[in-house]
């Protein structure tokens, strides 16, 4: 099973076809796209997204069809859950070969490290995790936080997320990727007796300003 996430930078680099080609070749079973657009669709995937953004919203002018987070999956999606912010986080239950999994896609800090929005999104995530804590979880997306290399946005933000993952029995599988802010976090129980391999792409930042990350689970 392959799980992936990628921030595609609102398609500002006009590399739509190359991005689509990469997503098709990636062939992930679960994919969370951030800073995305409803025009990005993949055959044979179910897509569940945050609400479409108004043309003028949060002080930003958005293009038609833009949304902040989309979950695309080849697996059967059973239930969609309400989240703290319908524009910033989306959550669904899916059926995987390893059992049921609650997928929570998000952006923490929709304006990067700008306060007070970063803390608002972070606190919203923690509130939602309390609701879903009894489930096998996969939390992924753009956290705007590094866990290796240069500290960003702050030591406090990093430690808060580390403590949160410990409290909810989660493992950040991508924490060791240096200077990376996009992450895939899974329930410890879900990873028992399994091997993982990490894949990254877009290192030259030609398709967007973020690398993509994927975890394959065996």
The pLDDT score that the predictor gives to residue 103 is: 98
Condensed to tens digits (0 to 9), the pLDDT of residues 121-152 reads 999 999 999 999 899 999 999 999 999 999 99
The pLDDT score that the predictor gives to residue 90 is: 98
Q: How does residue 180 score in pLDDT terms, banded at 50, 70 and 90? A: very high
The pLDDT score that the predictor gives to residue 98 is: 96
Cα separation of the two ends of the chain: 7
The pLDDT score that the predictor gives to residue 112 is: 94
Percentage of the chain lying above the pLDDT 70 cut = 100
The pLDDT score that the predictor gives to residue 91 is: 98
With CA atoms as reference, report the closest residue to 83 among 139, 45, 134, 34.
139
CA-CA distance, 96 to 91, in Å (whole number)?
Answer: 15
The pLDDT score that the predictor gives to residue 42 is: 96
The pLDDT score that the predictor gives to residue 190 is: 97
Condensed to tens digits (0 to 9), the pLDDT of residues 39-93 reads 999 999 999 999 999 999 999 999 999 999 999 999 999 999 999 999 999 999 9
Q: How does residue 189 score in pLDDT terms, banded at 50, 70 and 90? A: very high
Residue 55, judged by CB atoms within 10 A of its CB (0-12, 13-18, 19+), counts as: exposed
The pLDDT score that the predictor gives to residue 8 is: 98
Percentage of the chain lying above the pLDDT 90 cut = 99
The pLDDT score that the predictor gives to residue 124 is: 98
- Sequence-ordered list of residues with C-beta below 8 angstroms from that of 84, at least 6 positions apart, any chain: 124, 125, 127, 128
Architecture of domain 2-217: 4-Layer Sandwich (3.60)
C-alpha of 198 from chain center: 15
Question: What one-character DSSP code corresponds to residue 23?
Answer: H
Q: How does residue 161 score in pLDDT terms, banded at 50, 70 and 90? A: very high
Whether 135 and 100 have beta carbons less than 8 Å apart is answered as yes
CA-CA distance, 218 to 214, in Å (whole number)?
Answer: 13
Beta bridge partners, 168, equal none
Tokens of 12: 């500002």
Whether 68 and 87 have beta carbons less than 8 Å apart is answered as yes
Q: How does residue 99 score in pLDDT terms, banded at 50, 70 and 90? A: very high
Condensed to tens digits (0 to 9), the pLDDT of residues 15-25 reads 999 999 999 99
């Amino acid at each position: 099973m392959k799980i992936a996430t990628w921030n595609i930078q609102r398609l500002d680099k006009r590399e739509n076809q190359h991005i689509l080609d990469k997503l098709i070749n990636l062939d992930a079973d679960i994919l969370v796209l951030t800073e995305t657009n409803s025009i990005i669709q993949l055959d044979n995937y179910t897509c569940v997204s945050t609400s479409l953004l108004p043309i003028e919203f949060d002080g930003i002018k958005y293009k038609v069809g833009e949304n902040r987070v989309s979950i695309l999956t080849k697996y059967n999606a059973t239930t969609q859950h309400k989240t703290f912010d319908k524009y910033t986080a989306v959550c669904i239950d899916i059926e995987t070969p390893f059992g049921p999994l609650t997928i929570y896609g998000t952006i923490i800090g929709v304006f990067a490290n700008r306060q007070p929005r970063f803390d608002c999104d972070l606190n919203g995530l923690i509130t939602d995790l309390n609701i879903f804590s009894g489930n096998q979880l996969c939390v992924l997306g753009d956290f705007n936080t590094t866990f290796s290399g240069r500290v960003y946005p702050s030591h406090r933000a990093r430690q808060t997320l580390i403590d949160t993952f410990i409290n909810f029995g989660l493992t950040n599988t991508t924490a060791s990727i240096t200077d990376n802010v996009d992450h895939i976090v899974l329930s410890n129980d879900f990873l028992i007796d399994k091997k993982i391999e990490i894949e990254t792409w877009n290192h030259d930042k030609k398709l967007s300003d973020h690398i993509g990350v994927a975890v394959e689970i065996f």
